[in-house]
Amino acid sequence: MTDTTQIKTTPSALTRLWNSDVAWNFRRSWTARISSVLILILFAAALFAPLLATQNPYDISQLFLLDSELPPAWIEGGDPRYFLGTDEQARDLYSSILYGLRLSLIVGFASVALAAVVGISLGLLGGFVGGMVDGAIMRVADILLSFPAILVALLVNGIARGVLPPERHADAAIWVLILAIGLTNWVQYARTVRGSTMVERQKEYVQAARINGVSGMGIMLQHILPNVLGPVLVIATINLGMAVLTEATLSFLGVGMPATQPSLGTLIRIGNEYLFSGIWWVVIFPSVVLVALVLAVNLLGDWLRDALNPKLR
Amino acid sequence: MLGFLIRRIIQSVFVMLAVALIAFMMFRFMGDPVNSMVAETATTEERDAVRERLGLDQPLYVQYGRFVARAATGDFGLSWRNARPVSTLLAERFPATAELVLVAAGLSLVLGIPLGILTALRPHSFSTQALQLMSLVGISLPTFVTGILLILVFSVWLGWLPSFGRGTVVDVGWWSTGFLTLSGLKALILPSVMLCLFQLTLIMRLVRAEMMEVLRTDYIKFAKARGLTNRSIHFHHALKNTLIPVITIFGLQLGGLIAFAIITETVFQWPGMGALFIQAVSFGDVPVMAAYLVLVSLIFVIINTTVDLLYAVLDPRLRVEGARAAH
pTM: 0.79
In this structure, chain A runs to a length of: 313
Residue A31: pLDDT band with limits 50, 70, 90:
confident
Query: Does A105 contact B at CB distance below 8 Å?
Result: no
Q: What is the pLDDT of residues A4-15, one digit of tens each?
A: 555 556 667 677
pLDDT computed for residue B54 by the predictor: 66
In this structure, chain B runs to a length of: 327
- Determine the average pLDDT of the residues in A82-97: 75
pLDDT computed for residue A122 by the predictor: 92
pLDDT computed for residue B327 by the predictor: 46
Does residue A153 have a pLDDT over 60?
A: yes
Give the nearest partner residue to A155 out of B141, B142, B293, using CB atoms: B293
Measure in Å the smallest separation between the Cα of A272 and chain B Cα atoms: 7
pLDDT computed for residue B326 by the predictor: 46
- Determine the average pLDDT of the residues in B263-275: 86
Does residue B93 have a pLDDT over 80?
A: yes
* More confident: B323 or A302: A302
Which are the contacts of B190, defined by CB distance < 8 A and separation ≥ 6?
B147, B150, B151, B154, B155, B161, B162, B163, B268
Cβ contact B148–A157 (<8 Å): no
Query: Does B261 contact A at CB distance below 8 Å?
Result: no
What span, in angstroms and rounded, lies between the C-alpha atoms of B210 and B250? 14
Whole-number Cα distances in Å, A192 to A3, A114, A120, A244, B107: 50, 16, 9, 22, 36
ipTM over 0.85: no
Residue B185: pLDDT band with limits 50, 70, 90:
confident
Cβ contact B140–A291 (<8 Å): yes
Does residue A110 have a pLDDT over 90?
A: yes
**Which segment, A274-278, B62-66, B98-102, is predicted with the most confidence on average?**
B98-102
Q: What residues of chain A lie within 8 A of the CB of B263, using their CB?
A: 150, 249, 252-253
The lowest-confidence range among A91-105, A168-182, A231-245, B234-248 is B234-248
Three-state SS for A113-166 is HHHHHHHHHHHHHHHHHCHHHHHHHHHHHHHHHCCCHHHHHHHHHHHHHHHCCH
Cβ contact A249–B263 (<8 Å): yes
- CA dihedral (B170, B173, B174, B179) positive or negative: negative
**Mean pLDDT score of chain B:** 78
Return residues 271-290 of A near B (CB < 8 Å).
Answer: 271-272, 275-276, 278, 280, 283-284, 287, 290
What span, in angstroms and rounded, lies between the C-alpha atoms of B224 and B218? 10
Among candidate residues A301, A120, A144, A298, the one with its CA nearest the CA of residue A224? A120
Q: What is the pLDDT of residues A233-277, one digit of tens each?
A: 888 888 888 899 889 988 888 888 887 788 888 888 888 887 777
Does residue A283 have a pLDDT over 70?
A: yes
